[in-house]
Structure 1
Amino acid sequence: MLLAGLSALTAAGLIYRQARDLMLTRTEGSVVNEFRLRVATLTENMQHPPDRAALQQLANGVAPSFLQATGAAAYRDSGLITSGDLTGPITPALRRAVVARGRLYHQRVIKNGLPYLVVGTPVMLGKRTTPSGVEVYLVAPLAKEQADEDALVAAARNGVIPVVALAVLLALVAARGVLRPVRDLDRAARRLGAGELDTRLKVSGGDELARLVKTFNATAAALETNVSELRDMEVKARRFVADVSHELRTPLASILAMADMFEEEAGRLESDLAKAARLMNLEVGRLVRLVEDLMEISRFDAGAATLILDDVDVADAVRASLRTRGWTGRVGLDLPPDVRIGLDPRRFDVIMANLVGNALRHGAAPVTVRLRADGGAGGVVIEVQDAGGGVDPRVLPHLFDRFSKADAARTRSDGSGLGLAIARENAHLHGGTIRVTNPPEGGALFTLTLPRRAEPPDHPGEPGTDPPWITEPGG
């Protein structure tokens, strides 16, 4: 549109300028030639020095009616003889040029908003080749030329407007033809990014945009196939883990019972057999906990984890969790009374057991549990802090990942590597968060935030839906 408009304006401007210059040049040439001829004819037999009557006759004769002149003026020794009041259009600059150079000059002048052509020449009388001191000036109006010029401007404007309007129309049509497929591609890409993998676009034409649409459709189809295969594989893997864990529970329960019996009889066994019995009991216990944790994770992955809410005194729930595991004397408590929220007591117990157990195993005494009401959100904040060396900054971003170990060099530990992941999933199921930092005073600080009333997310257990829960020190 801009190119067409500029082209039309440029063409119209050039045509206008050329026609205007040609018209003015033709008019000026005609007036100047006629003026020179009349001056020569009227002064051919004029005596030197001419009297006033002769000069008046010269002034009257220089402005004939067919030139449509306003009038003429004759000067002699700075005296003025005119055929009308024409002193205005005759400028001092033109007079100085005529007198100083002794030749004919013409000039276009605007007087009272009207254009005039002023022509002046010195007069040679008789056979003299030097100026006689007489100057003759003609003032011719250019009103007709001004009207013609206005008509040219109007014609140029009337010619440009349709061209620009047509350019606008064609530009809009072209832009719509180009931008509409681009907008469709943008919307389709957004839908594809939002998970609508069956998004496809209609292919029309054979240009570059059509080829781009074909490429998009092929990419979307390949992505849908790959994601579908990955989802099927993930479902099968989760089902496999859940099925294996479930099938292992019964034989493990029997093995654990026999391991307990062997351990009870270890005192009557030989030294090596006693150690073996105790080790078997320990390892079977670890295996049972691993299976239980795997089953719990499977519930989260399948979206089958649910809450059984109750109105709970948080301080009492924390003490009950520690008392059940015999940790009461090993943990410092800062628990204000009468802080009640709605939560699932069993899942809250799992969260506290994993956080405090992690601090006791991997941190150093003293381990402190602090409770405070979150005035802004109306929920509670529970902090579990130890006095150890903190979490390795390299491990910190992955501490809540499944099978993550706080000490990367340790291949075996009493835990399954799922405890903190299960704690996070339970917190997320309540609509809360867990984050870990290395505070300046040392140790590791786990911060559990729970709302006053549990508001589980739309897709519990789905990775990536939890708000950021890991921060660097000072964050």
Structure 2
Amino acid sequence: MPTTTAAVWRDPRSWPEAAATLWRRSLRFRTITITLLLTTLAIFITSVIMALVIQNNLFESRRDEVLSDALRAVAEAQIRVDSAEVTDDPAGLRALWSDVQDTIPRASSSSRVIAFPIDDTPVGSGVQGFRTDLSADLISPGLRERVVSFPDRQSWQSIAIPMPDGTTAPGIVVGQQLFLPGVGAFEVYIAYDLADSQETLQFVQSTLWAAGFVLIAIVAVISWLVLRLVSKPIIEASETSARLAAGDLDVRLPVHGEDELATLAQSFNAMADSIEAQIKELGELSLVQQRFVSDVSHELRTPLTTIRLAADMLNDQRDQFDATTARTAELLYTQVQRFETLLSDLLEISRYDAGSVQLELEPTSLAELAEDVIEQMRPLAEERGSELRLVAPGAYSPVEMDPRRVRRVLRNLIGNAIEHGERHPIVVTVDSNQYAVAVGVRDFGLGMRPADAERVFDRFWRADPSRQRTIGGTGLGLSIALGDAQLHGGTLAVWSELAVGTNFVLTIPRDHDQREGTSPVPLEPQDAIVDVGPMTQPIQLTELREIYFDARAEDES
């Protein structure tokens, strides 16, 4: 049972196949998909670049602000230290150092401060390092080394600052030296929280992504509208051309406006008018031709009947004539018979052209029918030096067919095989399967080129025009045979190879409305049987060419 569209989209496993089918068949789907993919890629690249630029600018701006703030705080503390009148009194140093501890957090925007003495402080000074809300573990050895090595410069490093809720926030720690007279230099580090900058960056990035998705949706809608406007006339042209190809000659495209699509529609309509006129003219000529052939054939039958009677009388009395007159009477009789056959074939062809042929179906065994035809054709085959062989593993059960027409097809195929079989055996194979019954007629004669095999069913066509017909065919037999096969809903196919032979296969379906399935008789034979000297043996097709040319050379010698 065919799968519906709704069922296809309900099953996720069938989506790739459905999308691939839609991609192949829908210009609108391909265009919208490509547009959306390229637009999405462009917006994604633009958003990433903008997010990175904003992130760098925001970080650099915040870093410069932090460095300036730290420099100002430490400078203010250094100024207070330098302006204080400090002696070697330990109490005064401790008071000054306590003031420095208060000044730095107050002068900066961060309360996270830590200080380390670079050298050992003098004994009894009472001045030690301090820290406020900043762990010494956050200060890396590399940063401390840079601060000690460059006393006149600031050094900074990005860190992760622990928050009270257990999470971490991005931050920057800035380090520089502070000199305390009478004691020595100290490493001072101030850590700054960048959580607010991170929030700002996240807001900007989310805004960019949201704007990107909205822009993609807008582009999709605009693309669909524009494509619908452009593709609708194209779809109409495609559907109209399909109907025109199917035989609806009255169909035309609507013309709107004066743009390129309107010009296309006008050109298409003009082409359709021209095709319709030519087809009608050809149809009228065909009808005239059919009527002419039919009328001529009927008109010739009356005088031909008279001539036939006269030829019969002369042929019956030819023994009373001299040799020349007797031969003339015999030739007249033979050619009148051939002329009568030609008229019959012409009438049959005219019926096919007019579509007035009707089948007379009846249950018939194809194997028995083939056996009867072989027995009828056996004297002619023996006269021509060929042996008729029947291979019938199947096709004995009756099948609905027109026995008169199938018999005519078999006589024609076997007659051609006798004509071109070059005195080699002719194998008739009859078989069947659940779909059809078939018969193959195989000869081992001259064979044909592929180009000739394609034209073998043309009327009055011969592969070798210089070769005369010795059995008396009219040149219409294979064309009529093909028509008989098609009337049964079947096929008549040919395989041929030079110096190997020819194989015709007639296939008739068991059910004329059900034409699917393979033929029980293969078109291209896998092996063959020919006479080699006094013996008969199976050989492969690849050996036939060499055997054929050897036999021809012996005959000529």
Instruction: Bin the TM-score by the shorter chain.
Output: 0.7 to 0.9
Task: Identify which of 147, 150, 161 aligns with 1:111.
Answer: 161
1:25–1:380 distance in 2 versus 1, CA, 3 Å:
closer
2: distance between equivalents of 1:190 and 1:148?
Answer: 60
1:370–1:140 distance in 2 versus 1, CA, 3 Å:
closer
**Does the CA contact (< 8 Å) of 1:24 and 1:145 recur in 2?**
yes
**Does the CA contact (< 8 Å) of 1:430 and 1:455 recur in 2?**
no
**Does the CA contact (< 8 Å) of 1:122 and 1:132 recur in 2?**
no
2:458 counterpart of 1:401: yes
2:81 is matched with: 43
1:398–1:107 distance in 2 versus 1, CA, 3 Å:
same
- Cα deviation, residue 295, structure 1: 0.7
2: distance between equivalents of 1:392 and 1:148?
Answer: 82
2:405 counterpart of 1:363: no
**Unmatched runs of 5 consecutive residues or more in structure 2:** 1-35, 120-127, 163-167, 528-557
1:394–1:157 distance in 2 versus 1, CA, 3 Å:
closer
1:233-272 equivalence runs, <5 A:
233-272=285-324
The AA in structure 2 aligned to 1:397 is E
1:184-333 equivalence runs, <5 A:
184-314=236-366, 316-318=368-370, 320-321=372-373, 327=379, 330=382, 332=388
- Cα deviation, residue 99, structure 1: 0.7
- Cα deviation, residue 254, structure 1: 1.4
1:153-168 equivalence runs, <5 A:
153-157=205-209, 159-168=211-220
What is the TM-score with the length of structure 2 in the denominator? 0.70
1:400–1:367 distance in 2 versus 1, CA, 3 Å:
farther
1:44–1:166 distance in 2 versus 1, CA, 3 Å:
same
1:21–1:176 distance in 2 versus 1, CA, 3 Å:
farther
2:100 counterpart of 1:58: yes
Task: Identify which of 473, 493, 500 aligns with 1:415.
Answer: 473
The AA in structure 2 aligned to 1:266 is R
2: distance between equivalents of 1:446 and 1:39?
Answer: 111
- Cα deviation, residue 69, structure 1: 1.3
Q: Deviations over 1:294-341 (max 9, x none)?
A: 111111222211121223344554455456677388364537696533
Task: Identify which of 325, 330, 334 aligns with 2:390.
Answer: 334
**Does the CA contact (< 8 Å) of 2:157 and 2:172 recur in 1?**
yes
**Unmatched runs of 5 consecutive residues or more in structure 1:** 458-466
1:429 is matched with: 487
What is the TM-score with the length of structure 1 in the denominator? 0.81
**Does the CA contact (< 8 Å) of 2:448 and 2:497 recur in 1?**
no
The AA in structure 2 aligned to 1:111 is I
SS in 1 for 2:359: coil
**Does the CA contact (< 8 Å) of 1:310 and 1:343 recur in 2?**
yes
1: distance between equivalents of 2:218 and 2:358?
Answer: 66
2:530 is matched with: none
SS in 2 for 1:311: strand
SS in 2 for 1:140: strand
SS in 2 for 1:334: strand
2: distance between equivalents of 1:470 and 1:416?
Answer: 28
1:177–1:290 distance in 2 versus 1, CA, 3 Å:
same
2: distance between equivalents of 1:338 and 1:120?
Answer: 106
2: distance between equivalents of 1:155 and 1:353?
Answer: 85
Q: CA RMSD in A?
A: 3.8
SS in 2 for 1:133: strand
2: distance between equivalents of 1:448 and 1:104?
Answer: 99
SS in 2 for 1:123: strand
2: distance between equivalents of 1:162 and 1:372?
Answer: 71
1:450 is matched with: 508
**Does the CA contact (< 8 Å) of 1:60 and 1:83 recur in 2?**
no
Which of 45-54 and 247-256 deviates more?
Answer: 45-54
**Does the CA contact (< 8 Å) of 1:123 and 1:133 recur in 2?**
yes
2: distance between equivalents of 1:366 and 1:71?
Answer: 111
Task: Identify which of 72, 84, 99 aligns with 1:34.
Answer: 72
2: distance between equivalents of 1:120 and 1:322?
Answer: 113
1:98–1:218 distance in 2 versus 1, CA, 3 Å:
farther
The AA in structure 1 aligned to 2:102 is N
**Does the CA contact (< 8 Å) of 2:352 and 2:483 recur in 1?**
yes
SS in 2 for 1:43: helix
The AA in structure 2 aligned to 1:31 is D
1: distance between equivalents of 2:206 and 2:496?
Answer: 80
- Cα deviation, residue 289, structure 1: 1.1
**Does the CA contact (< 8 Å) of 1:86 and 1:139 recur in 2?**
no
2:141 is matched with: 92
2:534 is matched with: none
2:402 counterpart of 1:344: yes
SS in 1 for 2:156: strand
SS in 2 for 1:196: coil
2:552 is matched with: none
The AA in structure 2 aligned to 1:9 is S
- Cα deviation, residue 35, structure 1: 1.9
- Cα deviation, residue 57, structure 1: 2.5
2:194 counterpart of 1:142: yes
**Does the CA contact (< 8 Å) of 2:421 and 2:445 recur in 1?**
yes
1:18–1:164 distance in 2 versus 1, CA, 3 Å:
farther
2: distance between equivalents of 1:455 and 1:231?
Answer: 29
2:230 is matched with: 178
1: distance between equivalents of 2:278 and 2:378?
Answer: 50
The AA in structure 2 aligned to 1:60 is D
SS in 1 for 2:222: helix
SS in 1 for 2:454: helix
- Cα deviation, residue 355, structure 1: 1.9
Report how many aligned residue pairs link the two structures: 460
- Cα deviation, residue 205, structure 1: 4.9
**Does the CA contact (< 8 Å) of 1:8 and 1:160 recur in 2?**
no
Percent of aligned pairs sharing the same letter: 30
**Does the CA contact (< 8 Å) of 1:424 and 1:434 recur in 2?**
yes
Q: Deviations over 1:248-303 (max 9, x none)?
A: 11221112222222333434445444433332222222221111101111112222
2: distance between equivalents of 1:326 and 1:72?
Answer: 120
1:219–1:142 distance in 2 versus 1, CA, 3 Å:
same
